[in-house]
Chain A
Amino acid sequence: MRLINGKHSHFPIFNEQDIADLTEISKVQMIDFLAVPFVSHGDEINVIRKTLGVNGSQIKILAKIDSMPGVEKFDDILEEADGIIF
């Protein structure tokens, strides 16, 4: 079930498993880019960057804009992300 049209932008972008995965990702070498779908606010990118920590500081974060909230907060997201995927 895809949550589309931005109707579920209040739904948390990550669950506990996602956070655990991010911590694991930061330990895996050779990952250059991390694409994050359904981003609706720049703060979400900051959460990812903090979770990746120093170990994952070389990973570039690409925000995917695929909902109306993402379009509305585009400037804010662009400020925080290393790149954008529409």
Chain B
Amino acid sequence: MTTCRLNLSHGSLKENLKLISNYRQARRLRPHKNCAFLLELKGREIRISHSADKSKTIRVRTGSTVAMFGGEFKTASDPTNLRVNNESFQRYMKPNEVVYIDDGKAIGIVIQINENGVLLEIKQGGTIRENC
């Protein structure tokens, strides 16, 4: 192994500090090895909370109206309520903007913006994964 890569898209830095600590210990124990550490930030992305369904997916239907909002990320999302890990994303959204969910598995248009989030009209329904 020449590089250890840790992606912060999956958990916060705080949650991953133990992994970083393990890496540091492993490296100290192997001074003859050369291995770089690459930390990747999550960048511009919003994640949807977990699904209450056993399939760990959320099926949004074409033509349905879906509320997307922040502040309740620990609560499950469902086909009409998508809870996200960002409480201010709506400030940067515009009416009629296209939103691609789970890399485009579902596509919606912003039809309303309020202080908690946005309302989307689903133009192309699909099955999206939890925490995507």
Contacts and interface: CB of A to CB of B under 8 A. Distances in A.
A33 B36 contact: yes
Given A32-B38, A35-B40, A35-B41, A24 B98 contact: no
Contacts of A11: 44, 89, 92
B37 A31 contact: yes
Nearest to B28: A30
A15 B132 contact: no
B39 A35 contact: yes
Contacts of A9: 44
Nearest to A66: B43
B45 interface: yes
Interface residues of A, number: 33
Given A30-B23, A32-B37, A37 B103 contact: no
A13 B12 CA distance: 16
A18 B41 contact: yes
Interface of A: 1-5, 7-13, 15, 17-18, 21-22, 24-25, 28-39, 62, 64
Given A21-B12, A36-B41, 5 more contacts: A2-B103, A3-B46, A24-B13, A34-B40, A34-B41
Interface of B: 3, 5, 8, 12-14, 17, 20, 23-24, 27, 36-48, 84, 86, 88-89, 92, 97-104, 132
27 contacts: A1-B45, A1-B46, A1-B47, A1-B48, A1-B84, A2-B45, A2-B103, A2-B132, A3-B100, A4-B104, A5-B100, A7-B97, A9-B44, A12-B92, A15-B88, A18-B42, A21-B8, A21-B12, A21-B41, A30-B23, A31-B37, A33-B37, A35-B38, A36-B40, A38-B45, A64-B40, A64-B43
